[in-house]
Structures are given as structure tokens and as C-alpha cells.
């Protein structure tokens, strides 16, 4: 969605920041290729907006969780290579094959993908996934030889083409954890076993954003970058700025109401917060229906460039900010920034206030908040 003029609430998406982040990470991982994850509507930024900006900046591949997400890119005219990796019994593999979408295969999908390829008389392009320790999707090491044997049979029948072999890391955002070394060792072993079965892929890919930025030994032929492209740090102890990344989303609205309340006044459901003096309160028209976590406690907001904190529980459509003494200058209609932009407030700070992570904060911003696409490079010029 594009925000109309005077929108009540807006998520501004800066395509210049996306391009900057893609180029920054691409330079760091060179000569490895880069896949940009645009799943979940581009982490809430708009899949098509992000896809176009990322490809313009030199991204080689796009990644989606679901085939339906990949098909939407194709329908919009995106012709770049796309990989979709999370399937159910309802996944339309035939449509994926017809639209030249690569498919992640962990085990059970293989026969259905091969059947769809046979019906179309067109080989499917697949990337085999090995579970090296995350415990989610991917073949177990025990089942790996059998999967490879079946893959080889379908390959010899001309039904599939193995383009890649990949895995996903569990704790790369904690660089000192030994489990990443164990996963990389298991992955290399899986590659050796695949080679013994006559299966060698051109694209070996393992690294997510944190591994792309901290583990050159995990780069292989391609990295899959998600949160970093959106200008967010994957590390708890390193800011996006320190990594050379620029946040691409700014969430803003305006003050919906201002009033003065007496000392002892409770605020919002449960009355978990009471003011200890006569205070001015500002009402912010964003709530958990818009993606603001209900669990947020004393979360930061910027009103007219001044930092304040939320007070009381976030409701479905709104939350309250304690402005302090009753003689506030804040008025109805004043600009509010939740995070991003010139506010100095990061999505990570909202994550901390809510007991979650910056990934969730940016991704959960709901459809009721229009996205307004901007390009700061044009504005600056």
C-alpha cells in the first residue's frame, strides 16, 4: 500500500537505505553471491518494493518462504532467480515449476515435485536442505543418503535439476557459540556424502545475516541475507550503525489527544501504571492491531523531537505516553515517531521494551498502516 497524503499513520520505507545495505553486505561477502529474503512481505517493508531495490543494488537472488510469495513476485514482473523453501501439502509445485521458481526440498516434497515436473514435462530446479542442528526443516543426516538416492533417480529421469544444497544456522547471532562450528562441520560432511552419490550443486549456501557479517567461512557460494538488508543488526551487542547499515523503516503517526490528569490517575487496561503527580498524557493512535506489541513497557517515542516513554498497557488501537508535568507544549496533531528516521529510536529498543527482537518489531507492522515508499538519495540530491 502507498500512503495517501495526510495519512493518520505511516511506515516510511526508504529504498535508498535498502540499496545501501545490499551493497554494504555484498562488498563484505564478495565473491559469494547474495540472496535477499523478501518473505513476510519483505519483513513488513513490502516485498515488491524491497525486491526491486535489492536487485537494483546488485542482489543475485530473492528468497521467499512460500511459493505463493514467489508467484506474486513473478506476477509483478520480477524475473530474477527466486527460491521458495517452506511447503505444505497445499503447495502448488506445478505453478512454481511453470514460473521458474526454485524449490527447497527437505524430504517428503521430492516425490510431489517430481510428479509435478513429470506432468509438465519440465524439470524442476531444486535446492536440497540438510538439517545440521536447527531442528526445523531439512533432511536429517540419517535420512540424507536415502534422499540423495531418490534425488539421483529423478535426476537421471530428467525430472529435477539440483541447483543448490543448503542449511540454516541456529546461533550465528551469538558468534562465540560452538554450535555454529558444529553445524558447518555437519554441512561439509553432507556435501561429501552428496558428492559420493554423484550430486554436486553449483550453489552451496548457509550464511544468514549474522553469519554473513561474522563468519566468512560460512559464505560458500551464496549468502541469504534477511534482517541486515532492512538495516537491522542481528547482534544483541552491536548496533546497525556500527555495522554500516541504515534502517529502512520509519514508523510515524500524530498525537490523537492530549489531556491533563490528576495525581494517582491509572492508565489503560489493568491500571498497571499510575501517575504520581498531575500529568499530561498524549494518546498515540497505534496499537497491537497495527503491530505495536501489547507487552511493550516504557517503550520510547519521539514527539516533536523530544523523547518520551509509553505508560500502561498497549491497547488494540492506541497507547498512552506520559508527557510529564501538566504544562506540556505537546498538542493534538504533533508528529510522533515510534522508531526510525531522525528520532534516534531503533526497532531494537522497542524489542527490548517488549521482550522480543527487532526482527519481530518491523515484520509485525500491520496492513492498517500504509507504507509510503521514499528514496532519501533523491531527497538529499
Return the active site residues. Answer: 39, 269
Residues with Cβ < 8 Å from 348, sequence gap 6 or more?
232, 233, 239, 240, 357, 358, 361
Strand ranges in 101-177 using DSSP code E only, listed in sequence order: 102-105, 124-129, 160-166
DSSP 335: E
From the list 297, 212, 278, the residue with the least C-alpha distance to 34 is 212
Strand partners, 33: 222
124, 113 contact by CB (below 8 A): yes
317, 358 contact by CB (below 8 A): no
Helix (H) or strand (E) holding 295: none
Cα separation of 118 and 124, whole Å? 9
Q: 206: helix, coil or strand?
A: coil
Q: Which residue has the cell 517493508?
A: 45
Please measure the distance between the N-terminal and C-terminal CA atoms of the chain and give it in whole angstroms: 26
Region of residue 213 (phi > 0: left; psi between -120 and 50: alpha; otherwise: beta): alpha
Amino acid at each position: 500500500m502507498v500512503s495517501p497524503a495526510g495519512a493518520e499513520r505511516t511506515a516510511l520505507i526508504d529504498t535508498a537505505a535498502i540499496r545501501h545495505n545490499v551493497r554494504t553486505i555484498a562488498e563484505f561477502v564478495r565473491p559469494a553471491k547474495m540472496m535477499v529474503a523478501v518473505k513476510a512481505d519483505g519483513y513488513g517493508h513490502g516485498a515488491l518494493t524491497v525486491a526491486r531495490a535489492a536487485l537494483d543494488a546488485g542482489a543475485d537472488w530473492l528468497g521467499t518462504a512460500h511459493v505463493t510469495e514467489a508467484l506474486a513476485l513473478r506476477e509483478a514482473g520480477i524475473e530474477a532467480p527466486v527460491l521458495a523453501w517452506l511447503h505444505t501439502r497445499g503447495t502448488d509445485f506445478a505453478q512454481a515449476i511453470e514460473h521458474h521458481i526454485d524449490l527447497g526440498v527437505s524430504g517428503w516434497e521430492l516425490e510431489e515435485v517430481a510428479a509435478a515436473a513429470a506432468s509438465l514435462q519440465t524439470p524442476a530446479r531444486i535446492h536440497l536442505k540438510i538439517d545440521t542442528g536447527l531442528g526445523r526443516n531439512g533432511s536429517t543426516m540419517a535420512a540424507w543418503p536415502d534422499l540423495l538416492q531418490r534425488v539421483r533417480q529423478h535426476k537421471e529421469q530428467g525430472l529435477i535439476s539440483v541447483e543448490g544444497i543448503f542449511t540454516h544456522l541456529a546461533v550465528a547471532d551469538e558468534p562465540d557459540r560452538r554450535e555454529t562450528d558444529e553445524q558447518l562441520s555437519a554441512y561439509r560432511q553432507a556435501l561429501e556424502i552428496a558428492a559420493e552419490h554423484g550430486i554436486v550443486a553449483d550453489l552451496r549456501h548457509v550464511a544468514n545475516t549474522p553469519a554473513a557479517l561474522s563468519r566468512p567461512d560460512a559464505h560458500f557460494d551464496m549468502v541469504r541475507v534477511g534482517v541486515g538488508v532492512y538495516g537491522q543488526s542481528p547482534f544483541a551487542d552491536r548496533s546497525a550503525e556500527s555495522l554500516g547499515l541504515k534502517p529502512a523503516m520509519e514508523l510515524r503517526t500524530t498525537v490523537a489527544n492530549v489531556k491533563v490528569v490528576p495525581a494517582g490517575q491509572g492508565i489503560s487496561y489493568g491500571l498497571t501504571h499510575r501517575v504520581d503527580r498531575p500529568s499530561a498524557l498524549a494518546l498515540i493512535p497505534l496499537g497491537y492491531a497495527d503491530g505495536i506489541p501489547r507487552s511493550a513497557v516504557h517503550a520510547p517515542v519521539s514527539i516533536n523531537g523530544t523523547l518520551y516513554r509509553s505508560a500502561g498497557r498497549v491497547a488494540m488501537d492506541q497507547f498512552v505516553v506520559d508527557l510529564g508535568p501538566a504544562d506540556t507544549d505537546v498538542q493534538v496533531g504533533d508528529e510522533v515517531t515510534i522508531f526510525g528516521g531522525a528520532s534516534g529510536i531503533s526497532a531494537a529498543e522497542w524489542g527490548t521494551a517488549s521482550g522480543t527482537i527487532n526482527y519481530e518489531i518491523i515484520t509485525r507492522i500491520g496492513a492498517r498502516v500504509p507504507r509510503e515508499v521514499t528514496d532519501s538519495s533523491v531527497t538529499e540530491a
